[in-house]
Chains A and B, each alone.
Chain A
Amino acid sequence: AQSVTQLDSHVSVSEGTPVLLRCNYSSSYSPSLFWYVQHPNKGLQLLLKYTSAATLVKGINGFEAEFKKSETSFHLTKPSAHMSDAAEYFCVVRMGLFGNEKLTFGTGTRLTIIP
């Protein structure tokens, strides 16, 4: 079975400093992995996706993630945090066969930006 584990439930960084949100995955084969973001009182939004192409994936708002098979990790990073980045971030794995696929979400990491 495939699953994801988000290593930090809460991360705080100062505005302008780098962001690192950690995610490890468990899968018996090459997984499809995603990061979703949930801003307060707004719907979940796809941030970026990895589907076995380039291992370094760029997403919206300056975020990127690197798939590392040797470490079974898919950490989310951003060089410089902005106040608008404050939100809940979910690491997600796609499961199931073609035509019957579904997403399994991690428990989330709440990102706080300190002015």
Chain B
Amino acid sequence: EAGVAQSPRYKIIEKRQSVAFWCNPISGHATLYWYQQILGQGPKLLIQFQNNGVVDDSQLPKDRFSAERLKGVDSTLKIQPAKLEDSAVYLCASSQRDRAHEQYFGPGTRLTVT
């Protein structure tokens, strides 16, 4: 079965610019997650979708980050405007409904903000 796909794999932007990341989860997985992994730290959940609805976005900096999953399949995470501290790897994961412990992760997008 195909895994979680993410693009781009790498992105370098200047501060105050905008950037978008794309994720396509495993087919049939109702739940989709976006994580931020800063160098030397564990992944931190930014937002969780169940189909096309938001379950948890309590740690999403909503003044600059936004995410959508309009058709309940693929998802886009956007940062506008970017700050230096947004430099991190952005991970997308998916799971079957109510199986949060069995998440399948994509390879991530490494963002560098200069």
Which residues of chain A have a CB within 8 Å of any CB of chain B? 9, 32, 34, 41-46, 49, 51, 90, 92, 94, 96, 98-108
Separation of A44 and B41 alpha carbons in the complex (Å): 14
Complex: A34 Cα to B104 Cα, angstroms: 14
CA distance in complex: A96, B85 (Å): 28
Once the chains are docked, how many angstroms separate the CA of A87 from the CA of B45?
A: 21
Which residue of B48, B91, B103, B108 contacts A46 across the interface (Cβ within 8 Å)? Answer: B103
Question: 9 closest pairs, A vs B, by CB?
Answer: A105-B42, A43-B105, A101-B100, A44-B105, A105-B43, A43-B107, A107-B42, A108-B42, A90-B42
- Select from chain B the residue with minimum beta-carbon distance to A94: B101
Bound form: Cα–Cα A43–B55 in Å: 23
Residue of chain B at shortest CB distance from A110: B40
Residue B44 interfacial (CB < 8 Å): yes
Interchain CB contact under 8 A, A43 and B4:
yes
Bound-complex Cα distance A9 to B103 (A): 24
Question: For B44, B91, B103, which residue has the most chain A Cβ atoms within 10 angstroms?
Answer: B103
Would you give the 0/1 interface string for B23-58, flagging 1 where the beta carbon is closer than 8 Å to chain A? 000000000010000001111110010000001100
Query: Chain A residues with Cβ under 8 A from B43's Cβ?
Result: 44, 90, 105
Digitize B52-83: 1 where CB-to-A-CB distance is under 8 Å, 0 elsewhere: 00011000000000000000000000000000
- A108, B91: Cα distance in complex, Å: 16
Can you give 13 A-B contacts (C-beta < 8 A)? A9-B40, A41-B107, A43-B4, A44-B43, A44-B91, A49-B101, A99-B98, A102-B45, A103-B45, A103-B100, A107-B41, A108-B41, A108-B42
Interface size for B (C-beta < 8 A) is 24
Question: In the assembled complex, which residues on chain A have CB atoms less than 8 Å from the CB atom of B107?
Answer: 41-43
Residues on the A chain within 8 Å of B102, using CB:
46, 49
Asked if A101 and B98 make an inter-chain contact with CB atoms under 8 angstroms apart, the answer reads yes
Determine the chain B residues whose CB is within 8 A of the CB of A99 once the complex forms.
98
Bound CA–CA A92/B44 (angstroms): 11
Residue from A49, A96, A105, A106 having most chain B Cβ neighbours under 10 A = A105
Q: Which residues of B contact A41 (CB under 8 A)?
A: 107
B42 nearest CB neighbor, chain A only:
A105
